[in-house]
Amino acid sequence: MKKITNWFPGIIVAGILALTAVQCNKKTQIEITGELKRWHPVVLIFKGPATSEQSKDNPFLNYRLDVTFTRNNTTVVVPGYYAADGNAAETGKDAGNIWKVHFLPPDTGIWQYSVSFRKGKNVAVETASSGKPCFFDGTTGSIRITETDKNPPDFRAAGKLQYAGQRYYRFSNGEYFLKAGAGSPENFLAYRDFDGTFSQGETDYTKTWEAHAVDWQKDDPTWQGGKGKGIIGAVNYLSSMGMNSVYLIALTLHGDGKDVWPFTAPDERYRFDCSKLDQWRIVFEHMNRKGIHIHFFLSETENEQLFEADEGWQGSNAFAMSRKLFYREMVARFADLPGITFNLGEEIAEDQENETGRGKALSTDQLRMFMHYIDSLDLWNTPIAMHTSSNDQHREKLFSKFIGEPSLSCLSLQLESSLKGDDYVYDQTRYWIEKSASGNHPWVVSNDEQGHFSTGVWTDATDPRHDTIRRNVLWGNLMAGGAGVEYYFGYKTGCGDLDCQNWRTRENLWKQSKVALDILRSLPYSTMRLANQLTRNKAWCLADDNLSTILVYGKNQTELRIAVPDSARYDYSFYNPITGLKIRGKENLNLRPGILLYVPKELRNIDFVCVLKKTTGM
């Protein structure tokens, strides 16, 4: 890891500042760590006032650090945060004089930076010019960034994952992103090796991830003398199965698990646990290096009004100061990660009419304000998502109001797929892609909770083939143009949404999901459109505009008729969607118009995938 140390003159601030008498240093030391390469997180470390998480003069609220990075016509303003002694993940300390800023260089070359560090009452959630400058405010410098040297699956090889104005996310290098991965346990972060992590519920769902300690590898990260091997091993295992996304909730207080929070205590809202959050960061960085996308939920339905309820705010426009601080801290600490999505909340605003234990559900106006506020903090353009309830009427009523909303990138669907027919996931995915496109802002639409709430996706021991989930959920989402799936484990499966600590319990499903991702990635899927008319609506179909590539997914068929021009000729192959076995297509028959393909015998009683690639013809 490269380090650069620069010394710059400080700024003298005369007199006594608003909250405490603090004189500025005569010199400011800045340490820069990280690989100084494009798309690699770089950290600027500042020595400021000595304070602590519990200081009466709250360092999270009454100081504000922002650093402006500039190169040519590109300017990025990045919020910083208080970091205790700067090594809290290892020391566990809650006091020190270190502030940090994370920078994700979007391009090579020399980047100039200038520092704003201000002090004042509630300055962290006020305007950037609030308070008074102090300590290292006004410091300037530069860093030279060279090209990335990483390779996939490491996200640092591809850049920042962002909304691209279409139905798939795209990395900075132009590569599109399809996901498949774990939607459970939602309390992934309820890990006992994280500082200050324990259960507040009647049942203790905190985790050791011991089943995956064997998957930890030499040179993988740990902290505090070997802690972290279980959760790091779990990430390694999921990556080794070809999966690339994990759904996790950062705040489960008053929710289902009651065991995850970023604060110094469960009843605290304005002070953050520096060592715990640094340990989260170690895991998140490892996830991105292993090609795992972080689906970062900021709340769940039971606590979505937590901040406003605790502060006594009421009304459709309530926006608690503690929520603003929470969002700022999460953006400052994690938004620079190449592969992360911020989700406003699980089952967001599920019941806007009725009171819950924490007040009414969030209003449409509040959700809009919250998205805009996060956008204002996050110059990395991290995607923002919302997760739906399973109720079709509620989903329609609420999310129709957000058609055309520029801050909303992704709709994360919860669908009780096992109860509503084979085409339900397909139809809902297609519906919301098309409906959002009508507002000139097509959403990325994923299915991140499926099946009955009590069962979700069964373990391999109970359902070794996962036929219903594979056919109707995985391929249903992908063939409708969806962005992929995260699998929900239910509550009665023996390894469920709160208690699961072993991802091997769904290994067969990971394998089937990798088959699907591999097939789609071998095709120009980002340019392909729905084309079920080519199969006379007897199978799901995607095709590009000139029909040079056609993808068909069908079930229980002996033959496949494709309505293509008479002059067109195709090479084609069938795939077993369970094993990925490729079966080369034999001679096809011309039907005028179209061609007739015979489904291989071993695929006629299950589902099949067929890929056709044009060789000649218009």
The stretches in the chain having pLDDT less than 70 are 1-28, 351-359, 418, 585-592, 617-618
User: pTM of the entire structure?
Assistant: 0.94
Q: Is the four-CA dihedral 555, 558, 564, 569 of positive or negative sign?
A: positive
Number of domains present in the structure of the chain: 3
Q: In this structure, what token pair is assigned to residue 128?
A: 């950037």
* DSSP class of 156: G
Q: Is 18 exposed, middle or buried (0-12, 13-18, 19+ CB in 10 A)?
A: exposed
Q: Look at the block and give the residue holding tokens 């990325």.
A: 444
Q: Are residues 421 and 300 in the same domain?
A: yes
Q: What tens digit of pLDDT does each residue of 411-441 get?
A: 999 998 767 889 999 999 999 999 999 999 9
Q: Are residues 465 and 486 in the same domain?
A: yes
CATH number, domain of 74, equals 2.60.40.10
| Residue at a domain's end among 111, 145, 179 | 145
| Residue at a domain's end among 93, 121, 145 | 145
Q: Are residues 131 and 163 in the same domain?
A: no
CATH number, domain of 267, equals 3.20.20.80
Q: Are residues 376 and 492 in the same domain?
A: yes
In this structure, is residue 150 part of a structural domain? no
Q: How far apart are CA 329 and CA 405, in angstroms?
A: 24
Q: In this structure, what token pair is assigned to residue 495?
A: 């390894």
Q: Are residues 230 and 307 in the same domain?
A: yes
Q: Are residues 204 and 235 in the same domain?
A: yes
Q: How far apart are CA 260 and CA 186, in angstroms?
A: 10
Q: Are residues 294 and 196 in the same domain?
A: yes
Q: Is 55 exposed, middle or buried (0-12, 13-18, 19+ CB in 10 A)?
A: middle
Q: Element (H or E) spanning 42, and its range? A: strand 42-52
CATH number, domain of 539, equals 2.60.40.1180
Q: Are residues 126 and 171 in the same domain?
A: no
Q: Is the peptide bond before 338 cis (omega within 30 degrees of 0)?
A: no
Q: How far apart are CA 408 and CA 386, in angstroms?
A: 8
The total of other beta-carbon atoms located within 10 Å of residue 464's CB is 12
CA angle 101, 107, 108 (to 5 degrees): 100
Helix-helix angle 274-289:229-240, to 10 degrees: 20
Q: How far apart are CA 326 and CA 79, in angstroms?
A: 13
Number of H helices, E strands in the chain: 11, 31
Q: Element (H or E) spanning 485, and its range? A: strand 484-487
Q: In this structure, what token pair is assigned to residue 426?
A: 């397909």
Amino acid at 485: V
Query: Which structural domain range is residue 561 located in?
Result: 529-616
In this structure, is residue 376 part of a structural domain? yes
| Residue at a domain's end among 504, 521, 538 | 521
Q: How far apart are CA 450 and CA 493, in angstroms?
A: 14
HSE-up of 231 (CA within 13 Å, CB side)?
Answer: 29
Q: Are residues 176 and 135 in the same domain?
A: no
Q: Are residues 394 and 272 in the same domain?
A: yes
Pairing between β-strand 293-297 and β-strand 245-249 as defined by DSSP bridges? parallel
Q: Are residues 326 and 345 in the same domain?
A: yes
Q: Are residues 417 and 446 in the same domain?
A: yes
What pLDDT score does 237 carry? 98
